[in-house]
Structure 1
Amino acid sequence: MLVMETVLNNPPHPLLRTRDRILGAARELFASKGFKGTTTAEIARRAGVNEALIYRHFPAKRDLHTAILRAKLEEEASIELFQAPESIDLPVEAVLQGVAQRFLEAHDPTFLRLYYQSALEGHELAGEFYEQFVTRFVTVLEGMFIRWMAAGLIHASNPRMSAQAFLGMLRSAAVSIEMFQDPDLLRPYDELARDFTTTFINGIRVYPVQSDYNPTI
């Protein structure tokens, strides 16, 4: 017996493939309600298909969830969020501001929610995504800090922790914007990137002008 797609009041565009409609609907629902809180019946209604049709494409709900995370992993693997500058002659602040703005502009609000939901629910691909995207990002930043330290452009510090700190500001901002609509952060990304970069580079501590002063104490 053929499984017929259910026609809803607002059906998806007919040119979209059924599998893609299912993935898109599941992505939104998993992001807002989590894996455990989402049913295949809800996914079917959102996608505009008969629930049985989902199982033609995905044997189980878990397979559908995995397919979404796997697709994002493959997408991120082919994208360079940013590249370390070949020359150290570019101003440090300008480089970091560009990195910050690119990160804020590139984050995917729906996937951000889906990623955190998946991590909290212990999906193995959440850890793989962290390694492929976050750890890779930190490693490139770390290399930049090492070069700048060697050239005497920034103070000596733990370069990896510096990279983690800078990325941590951006990740926190992305979460606060998308999940909490933090009014302090609802501004153009170029302004946020500038302010975060300035704070990171200049810090908040004022050192006394003393020749024998040791800022490490």
Structure 2
Amino acid sequence: MTESPDAGDARTRILDAAEALFARHGFDGTSTARIAHAAAVPKGLLFYYFPAKPDILGALIDERLRTAALDAGPLAVRGDPVQTLMNVGERVLRDREAP
């Protein structure tokens, strides 16, 4: 079975919507129905890509943190994504507090 050209777009929309909703309402405060609605996809399609809500979070961490680590440059700690995330988070907080 091959995916349609829009298949990757739907998956990306789901991840984008989930990222925004998790940031705004928290993981527990965001339902899969809300994610599907925000992504403009049927709920069944969301579950096709992500069988459970934790799978969405896992994909966000895996895909988005990998990109953040690549952009982190000197903040990245090879083989330690948690420390890399902490370093990036500290940098973001410092940058927000700077005049």
1:185-196 mapped onto 2 (5 Å cutoff) = 192=99
1:4-153 mapped onto 2 (5 Å cutoff) = 17-81=9-73, 129-135=81-87
CA RMSD in angstroms, aligned pairs only:
3.1
The change in CA–CA distance for 1:50 and 1:172 in structure 2 (over 3 A counts) is: same
Residue 94 of structure 1 corresponds to which residue in structure 2? none
CA deviation after TM superposition for structure 1 residue 82, in Å: 5.0
Task: Report the secondary structure of 1:17's partner residue.
Answer: helix
Consecutive unaligned residues of structure 2, counting only runs of 5 or more, are 1-5
Higher helix proportion, which one?
Answer: 2
How many residues of Structure 1 are paired with residues of Structure 2 in the alignment?
90
Measured in 1, the distance between the counterparts of 2:85 and 2:70 equals 11
Q: Deviations over 1:144-186 (max 9, x none)?
A: xxxxxxxxxxxxxxxxxxxxxxx96862563xxxxxxxxxx6x
Consecutive unaligned residues of structure 1, counting only runs of 5 or more, are 1-13, 84-127, 138-166, 175-184, 193-217
The change in CA–CA distance for 1:170 and 1:58 in structure 2 (over 3 A counts) is: closer
Q: Deviations over 1:5-31 (max 9, x none)?
A: xxxxxxxxx7x7100000001111011
RCO (CA 8 Å, sep 6+): is it higher in 1 or 2?
1
Residue 171 of structure 1 corresponds to which residue in structure 2? 93
| Aligned residue type for 1:73 | L
CA deviation after TM superposition for structure 1 residue 79, in Å: 2.1
Structure 1 range deviating more: 23-32 or 71-80? 71-80
Task: Report the secondary structure of 1:37's partner residue.
Answer: coil
Residue 140 of structure 1 corresponds to which residue in structure 2? none
Share of identical aligned residues, percent? 31
